[in-house]
Structure 1
Amino acid sequence: MTSDPTTGRTPSEHERIKAMSLSRSRRRRCPWTPLDVFATGEHHSPPFVPSSPTTLLGYVAARTEKLILSTVTTLITTDDPVKIAEDFAMLQHLADGRVDLMPGRGNTGPVHPWFGQDIRQGIPLARENYALLRRLWREDVVDWEGTFRTPLQGFTATPRPLDGVPPFVRHGSIRSPEIAEQAAFYGDGFFHNNIFWPAEHTRRMAQLYRRRYAHHGHGTPEQAIVGLGGQVFMRKNSQDAVREFRPYFNYAPVYGHGPSLEDFTEQTPLTVGSPQQVIERTLAFRETVGDYQRQLFLMDHAGLPLKTVLEQLDILGEEVVPVLREEFAKGHPAEVPDAPTHASLLKAQEEVNAA
């Protein structure tokens, strides 16, 4: 709930929650139509409001037909893996399989003691909780004992995953090589939230994950499933985009009162300019991480009013994404797989069972 620096007005919790669901958007056309994925974060402290991602995603599932629903991220260290298993299996059924999961540790330290955990145990918690989550999705009856939660005896998580196929998992991390290793170990996807860090750091994390993915026998480094974050602000003319976005950047809670907009856009993937500039810079991300399967954009942040966010979604969906799809498809290496879907995972499982 960030104040709009140009008006001084701060939206209410109700306004922000309704805006996230876009229930007050244009009635005749949904601006998500040209897009593939909608993802939401999870936070439990003011000024954030999305404390219940599956509630929001269930609402969005009922209003869409093709959109893949995901989190960025589900707090694997503080959420109970039993509840994660059940919540996302339920969401899977409601959305007919259009669900991914992105576990992560989040970026708000105090959340750990609020949920009875020690932030200093973040990596061991992430490992243990995810190992249990996998078993809960893949085994009908689970006997389990670990370090951080009470044991389970003869436990069955309900509902079971749709068609016996758990949601595809992309482990989200900005800075932790241990999480890249965890993703590689299980043959899961890896998502680097490519927002605050320079390209060289992103390159190292992606390369580590790709090497370890191959090391654990899941395929070649090129076959690993990589996703990136990004953030943009666009207008027809780049000068108009910079002029309009500058006050929002300067006072944003996350990166305001720090480097200048020019320095930040030079040193990180933030792109403020024309649609063509966004296209060119996004296509260049392949030079950093290789061919990859998912690109998310942070669109609704820094106090931008809903009207502006909807305009940005229109530009993204109508002028940017179609070109990105076409250009990414050109010269796409045959050995690089498409992003997994429920249908493709189900087909692969059926082939294994038949063999």
Structure 2
Amino acid sequence: MEIGITTFVETTPDPKTGHVISHAQRLREVVEEIVLADEVGLDVFGVGEHHRKDFAASSPAVLLAAAASRTKRIRLTSAVTVLSSDDPVRVFQDFSMLDGISNGRAEIMAGRGSFIESFPLFGYDLKDYDTLFEEKLELLLKIRESEKVTWKGGHRPAIDNLGVYPRPVQDPLPVWIGSGGNTQSVIRAGLLGLPLALAIIGGRPVQFAPLVEIYKRAAAKAGHDPSKLPVASHSHGFVAESAEEAADKFFPSTQQVMNVLGRERGWGHYSRASFDAARSFEGALYVGDPETVAQKIIHLRKEVGITRFMMHVPLGTMPHDQVMRAIELLGTEVAPRVREEVSGWEAGQ
């Protein structure tokens, strides 16, 4: 059972003061967060790609590379790379370079993206949202399979027996599919035999269990061994010494972000009652003291089959020292509890 962190490198207004930190400051903070995550024994750190004012990381590979030479063990992944609006050749090259710098710790998490700012920015039409992803994923996988590539599609110029360099340390370079719970994306990942990462950020996480089963059936149908395919969750969370402290610290920025996105997407008002319901044992917020958070992750493992848990922290803008403490507790208090119990539970199967 792997435990890690994801971040979107947000630069939203501080919910108490209204102050907005610079993109440069937040980028430097995230490098420190990755270094700490490595030091406390976490398994993976993911950085999301965005192209708007309230997010600082337009290129996850660049930020991850900044931390690669300062870390030793932690795996470094995008979360996600918006493959639909990027060039698969460049994506492969960037992450292959990251793989070399980190000596084999890079991963790509490819997704279509729930934010659409990159499409007009790079000249793509949203009506091609699905076909862009399908075609570019096909090319990305072809590049990782072979040094020389011959390929032709509808959205990108053809490639005729050209080499793509540098080649990664890992063979093959890991490519995950990031999904918000769309059935077709889950089936696609299974048929291709690719690891699956689910964004479990609302409702009851156990409701994702049927999707995992669909994924595994699709993988088996295509001749892949489902038992060898990891399944990850990306879920909002925060750890503090007590459940009350964790909730009180995490709520203000969470409410701010959820209500900003809610106005953009037509969601209802996000209240403290909504927040408290979501941090209940069956809810999708992993907010609490170490024991509470550990038991919720173990429950997710048992009921949904998640083999990698990635806590998204912070959500919005929080004091850097609070985020660092949450990462420390996740690595030193939560992860050991989860690993021990899951290991014992599985040994008795």
> Normalising by structure 2, what TM-score?
0.87
* Matched residue type, 1:189: P
Q: 1:149 to 1:334 in 2, by over 3 A?
A: farther
Matches within 5 A, 1:208-247: 208-219=214-225, 221-247=226-252
Q: Indicate the residue corresponding to 2:286 in structure 1.
A: 271
> 1:202–1:288: 8 Å Cα contact kept in structure 2?
no
C-alpha distance after superposition, 1:78-113 (max 9, x if no partner): 110111121111111111111111100111123212
Q: 1:160 to 1:245 in 2, by over 3 A?
A: closer
* Matched residue type, 2:231: V
1:297 pairs with 296, 311, 331, which one?
A: 311
Matches within 5 A, 1:137-152: 137-152=144-159
Q: Indicate the residue corresponding to 1:109 in structure 2.
A: 116
Q: 1:118 to 1:197 in 2, by over 3 A?
A: farther
Q: Indicate the residue corresponding to 1:119 in structure 2.
A: 126
Q: Indicate the residue corresponding to 1:80 in structure 2.
A: 87
CA distance, structure 1, for counterparts of residue 176 and residue 199 of structure 2: 11
> 2:203–2:278: 8 Å Cα contact kept in structure 1?
no
1:4 pairs with 14, 18, 37, which one?
A: 14
Q: Indicate the residue corresponding to 2:301 in structure 1.
A: 286
C-alpha distance after superposition, 1:240-269 (max 9, x if no partner): 222333322322244694242123334741
Q: 1:197 to 1:77 in 2, by over 3 A?
A: farther
Q: 1:116 to 1:272 in 2, by over 3 A?
A: same
Q: 1:333 to 1:99 in 2, by over 3 A?
A: farther
* Matched residue type, 1:313: I
Is structure 2 residue 186 aligned with structure 1 residue 180?
A: yes
Q: Indicate the residue corresponding to 1:262 in structure 2.
A: 276
C-alpha distance after superposition, 1:177-223 (max 9, x if no partner): 2221221112110110122343254223212111111111112x444
CA distance, structure 1, for counterparts of residue 68 and residue 287 of structure 2: 31
Q: Indicate the residue corresponding to 1:52 in structure 2.
A: 59
1:22 pairs with 28, 32, 52, which one?
A: 32
Offset, 1:30? 3.3
> 1:195–1:268: 8 Å Cα contact kept in structure 2?
no
* Structure number having the greater strand percentage: 2
* Matched residue type, 2:92: A
C-alpha distance after superposition, 1:300-342 (max 9, x if no partner): 222111011011111111111111111121132699xxxxxxx
CA distance, structure 2, for counterparts of residue 334 and residue 106 of structure 1: 40
Q: Percent identity?
A: 29
CA distance, structure 2, for counterparts of residue 312 and residue 214 of structure 1: 38
Residue 233 of structure 1 aligns to a residue in which SS? strand
CA-atom RMSD in angstroms: 2.2
- Structure 1 gaps, min length 5: 336-355
Offset, 1:224? 2.9
* Matched residue type, 1:152: I
* Matched residue type, 2:247: V
CA distance, structure 2, for counterparts of residue 240 and residue 334 of structure 1: 36
Aligned pairs, number: 328
CA distance, structure 1, for counterparts of residue 54 and residue 149 of structure 2: 38
CA distance, structure 2, for counterparts of residue 112 and residue 91 of structure 1: 25
CA distance, structure 2, for counterparts of residue 283 and residue 52 of structure 1: 32
> Normalising by structure 1, what TM-score?
0.86
Matches within 5 A, 1:293-332: 293-332=307-346
Q: Indicate the residue corresponding to 2:198 in structure 1.
A: 192
Residue 312 of structure 2 aligns to a residue in which SS? coil
> 1:249–1:255: 8 Å Cα contact kept in structure 2?
no
Comparing 133-142 with 47-56, which one deviates more in the overlay?
133-142
Larger RCO (alpha carbons 8 Å, 6+ apart): 2
Q: 1:86 to 1:240 in 2, by over 3 A?
A: closer
CA distance, structure 2, for counterparts of residue 239 and residue 12 of structure 1: 30
Residue 176 of structure 2 aligns to a residue in which SS? strand
Residue 134 of structure 2 aligns to a residue in which SS? helix
